[in-house]
Amino acid sequence: MSTVTRANLVEHLYSRVGLSRHDSSMILESLLDAISNRLEAGESVKLSGFGTFSVRQKGERIGRNPKTGVEVPILPRAVLVFRPSQLLRDRMNGSENVAVEAPSRDK
């Protein structure tokens, strides 16, 4: 299993869409910049059928150095959170075409 890189994504765009490698690279960079800018502004980014990226603020808390046991303050910070869509979860679990049925009321 390998890691997906920007170069892999550019190559995939190039082979699937038929644009030049340069144009494919520009499209990918533009997309990543748009997503990054929204996240930096504190907005959520929802990619339908894939998932939602959002920024969560974590407050200050007290942590402990496991080696010495000394308490250390951990400063407030923003963390990036990804929540996969149900469609992506289903694909990951091999149930891509499973339809959810409502329970029957017949007895």
* pLDDT tens digits for range 49-67: 999 999 999 999 999 999 9
Q: Per-residue pLDDT for 102 more than 70? A: no
pLDDT at 95: 79
Phi, psi of 45 (to 5 degrees): -125, 115
**Cα–Cα distance measured from residue 50 to residue 91, given in angstroms and rounded to the nearest whole number:** 10
Residue pLDDT, tens place only, 73-85: 999 999 999 999 9
Amino acid occupying residue 9: L
Average pLDDT over residues 12-33: 94
Q: Per-residue pLDDT for 103 more than 80? A: no
**Cα–Cα distance measured from residue 9 to residue 60, given in angstroms and rounded to the nearest whole number:** 38
10, with CB counted inside 10 A (0-12, 13-18, 19+), is buried
Q: Per-residue pLDDT for 37 more than 70? A: yes
This model's pTM is above 0.85? no
